[in-house]
């Protein structure tokens, strides 16, 4: 519910952009502190993104990264106007057809996914020599902070597991694996590259695929976004489809400059575990801190993905502790 003072700020912002006598429809948002509205005016529509918390990261970063992506030939919503201090951005409307919807309805999911893999390869060819936005690196410090969400939010509040010597050892093992095996990479990492954030853009002739929610992008491993697509926790896919997608990605990536299959495979395995644990932690935080209970329903499938990725020999000792301390006590979390 928008209070009167906030509503006045929004109306003045829209008026500045010659938008009056419009119709508004709230759009289902994501897990962030942003809210979205579709603004209908005459024969056009726009997206209004609003944020009352973390305005710089939620609005300014989004605006600057979108401008950067469009300059690189990547279709991201064009910025019509923004005021990050007031937490507002007026954006191009891509429509409401996400690839989540397209894949759910399709009988040939692999064909659609392949188009998204090709789009990702294009993203990973981005040239960072620009003054539009200074991207941060996906450092060990950030990876560590993310995986700690599992220990801070999931274990105590959802699994009801208190910290003990085994849990502390588990964390130490995971952090050691991360610290010693992830190289400093120079690829665009969206960090939330899944089918709900990829759009089939309307009224676009050449670039039919568009990307949204790019405000958290960093420079890091080329393995991260492809595993995000393959291990999407919001849409269940078969092991066969996952393998075919990875094989297709590799068939294209090996043609790219400086591609190292050995390093990629190691980073894919390690980051898939890091990401799954991070997501479980985020969903737990959304449940406990933000009273968004619906995200608990996604945790069991995320655990299925996590347990599968833990089969890599590098996680042998990690797997033993997780099986002993967590898995048997987390089966009924839903």
Percent of the chain with pLDDT over 90: 74
Report d(CA 39, CA 22) in Å as an integer.
7
Task: Determine the pLDDT at residue 334.
Answer: 46
Q: Write the pLDDT tens digit of every residue in 200-229.
A: 986 555 558 999 999 999 999 999 999 999
118 and 52 in one domain?
no
Q: What is the CA radius of gyration of the chain?
A: 21
Residue that is last in its domain, among 37, 64, 92: 92
* Band of pLDDT at residue 1, cut at 50, 70 and 90: low
Overall average pLDDT of the 121-134 stretch: 83
Percent of the chain with pLDDT over 70: 93
139 and 36 in one domain?
no
* Band of pLDDT at residue 332, cut at 50, 70 and 90: very low
238 and 266 in one domain?
yes
Residue that is last in its domain, among 27, 58, 92: 92
Q: At what angle do helices 109-123 and 223-230 cross, to 10 degrees?
A: 160
Overall average pLDDT of the 77-104 stretch: 93
Task: Determine the pLDDT at residue 311.
Answer: 96
Q: Please spell the DSSP secondary structure of 130-161, one letter per residue.
A: -SS--PPB--HHHHHHHHHHIIIIIHHHTS--
CATH of the domain at 38: 3.30.200.20
Report d(CA 123, CA 222) in Å as an integer.
10
136 and 37 in one domain?
no
169 and 75 in one domain?
no
Domain count, the chain: 2
Report d(CA 64, CA 66) in Å as an integer.
5
Classified as helix, coil or strand, 78 is coil
* Band of pLDDT at residue 2, cut at 50, 70 and 90: low
314 and 251 in one domain?
yes
CATH of the domain at 136: 3.90.1200.10
Residue that is last in its domain, among 73, 92, 111: 92
124 and 46 in one domain?
no
127 and 31 in one domain?
no
Q: Write the pLDDT tens digit of every residue in 244-303.
A: 999 999 999 999 988 999 999 999 999 999 999 999 999 999 999 999 999 999 999 999
Query: Given the DSSP bridges, would you call strands 209-211 and 79-83 parallel, antiparallel or unpaired?
Result: unpaired
* Band of pLDDT at residue 330, cut at 50, 70 and 90: low
Task: Determine the pLDDT at residue 6.
Answer: 85
Overall average pLDDT of the 155-179 stretch: 96
Task: Determine the pLDDT at residue 131.
Answer: 61
Nearest Cα neighbor of 47 from 64, 63, 71, 69 is: 63
Residues 6+ apart with CB under 8 A from 205: none
* Band of pLDDT at residue 32, cut at 50, 70 and 90: low
Task: Determine the pLDDT at residue 78.
Answer: 95
What are the two backbone dihedrals, phi and then psi, of residue 189, each rounded to the nearest 5 degrees?
-125, 115
140 and 16 in one domain?
no
Report d(CA 136, CA 37) in Å as an integer.
29
109 and 87 in one domain?
no
Q: What is the pTM of this model?
A: 0.91
* Band of pLDDT at residue 127, cut at 50, 70 and 90: confident
204 and 297 in one domain?
yes
Question: Comparing 14-23, 138-147, 294-303, 323-332, which segment has the lowest mean pLDDT?
Answer: 323-332
- What's the domain range around 112? 99-330
Q: What length does the chain have?
A: 334
**Quick one: CA dihedral 90, 213, 202, 98, positive or negative?**
negative
77 and 129 in one domain?
no
């Amino acid at each position: 519910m928008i209070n009167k003072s906030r509503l006045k700020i929004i109306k003045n912002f829209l008026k500045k952009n010659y938008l009056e006598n419009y119709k508004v429809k709230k759009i289902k948002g994501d897990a962030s502190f942003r809210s979205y509205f579709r603004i209908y005016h005459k024969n056009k529509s726009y997206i209004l993104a609003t944020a009352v918390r973390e305005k710089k990261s939620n609005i300014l970063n989004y605006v600057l990264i979108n401008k950067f992506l469009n300059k690189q030939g990547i279709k991201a919503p064009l910025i019509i106007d923004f005021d990050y201090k007031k937490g507002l951005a007026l954006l191009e409307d891509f429509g409401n057809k996400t690839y989540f919807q397209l894949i759910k309805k399709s009988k040939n999911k692999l064909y659609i996914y392949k188009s998204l893999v090709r789009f990702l390869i294009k993203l990973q060819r981005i040239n960072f020599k620009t003054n539009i936005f200074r991207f941060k690196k996906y450092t060990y410090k950030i990876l560590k902070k993310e995986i700690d969400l599992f220990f801070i939010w999931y274990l105590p509040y959802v699994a009801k597991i208190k910290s003990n010597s085994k849990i502390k050892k588990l964390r130490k093992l995971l952090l050691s694996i991360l610290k010693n095996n992830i190289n400093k990479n120079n690829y665009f990492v969206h960090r939330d590259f899944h089918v709900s954030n990829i759009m089939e853009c309307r009224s676009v002739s050449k670039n039919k695929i568009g990307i949204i929610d790019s405000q958290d992008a960093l420079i890091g491993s080329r393995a991260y976004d492809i595993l995000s697509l393959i291990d999407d926790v919001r849409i269940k896919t078969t092991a066969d489809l996952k393998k075919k997608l990875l094989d297709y990605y590799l068939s294209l990536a090996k043609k790219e400059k400086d591609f190292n299959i050995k390093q990629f495979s190691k980073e894919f395995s390690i980051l898939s575990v890091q990401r799954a644990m991070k997501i479980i932690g985020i969903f737990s935080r959304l449940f406990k801190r933000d009273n968004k209970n619906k995200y608990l329903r996604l945790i069991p499938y995320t655990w299925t993905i996590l347990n599968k990725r833990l089969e890599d020999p590098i996680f042998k000792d990690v797997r033993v502790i997780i099986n002993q301390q967590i898995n048997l006590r987390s089966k009924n979390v839903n």
